Amino acid sequence: MSKLTNILVALVPTALVAGLFIVMTAVAQQSNAQGAGVDQAAIARGAKAWADNCGRCHNLRAPSELSDHDWRVSVTHMRVRANIPGNVARDITAFLQASN
């Protein structure tokens, strides 16, 4: 492959994840603007961590695809498998639950 093709192949997935992060952050903030006691910073951190960590190996699902309970189970499972720190897993769970 040419050097330009190699660069494009490397940049396209990153650009897609970044775009998804922006959209999902906006959705989470909008949907939770009414919620009392919702930590918007945790949700924003969770959106970024979700895109960064989960997007490495998975096609990212829509947060509405699973219930709050199912996301909690899934994130707990992947925390062990992917060695994700507890605070990051909590932020990812907060983001997914706020967005579904």
- Pairwise CA distance, residues 74 & 28, whole Å: 19
Max CA distance (Å), the chain: 53
How far is CA 54 from each of CA 25, 33, 36, 75, rounded to the nearest angstrom?
Answer: 15, 25, 28, 10
Return the structure tokens found at 20. 């998804």
pLDDT band (50, 70, 90) for residue 27: low
92 and 46 in contact (C-beta within 8 Å)?
A: yes
pLDDT tens by residue, 57-98: 988 888 899 999 999 999 999 999 999 999 999 999 999 999
- Global pTM reads 0.65
pLDDT band (50, 70, 90) for residue 42: very high
pLDDT tens by residue, 8-20: 566 666 666 665 6
The 8-class DSSP code of residue 61 comes to P
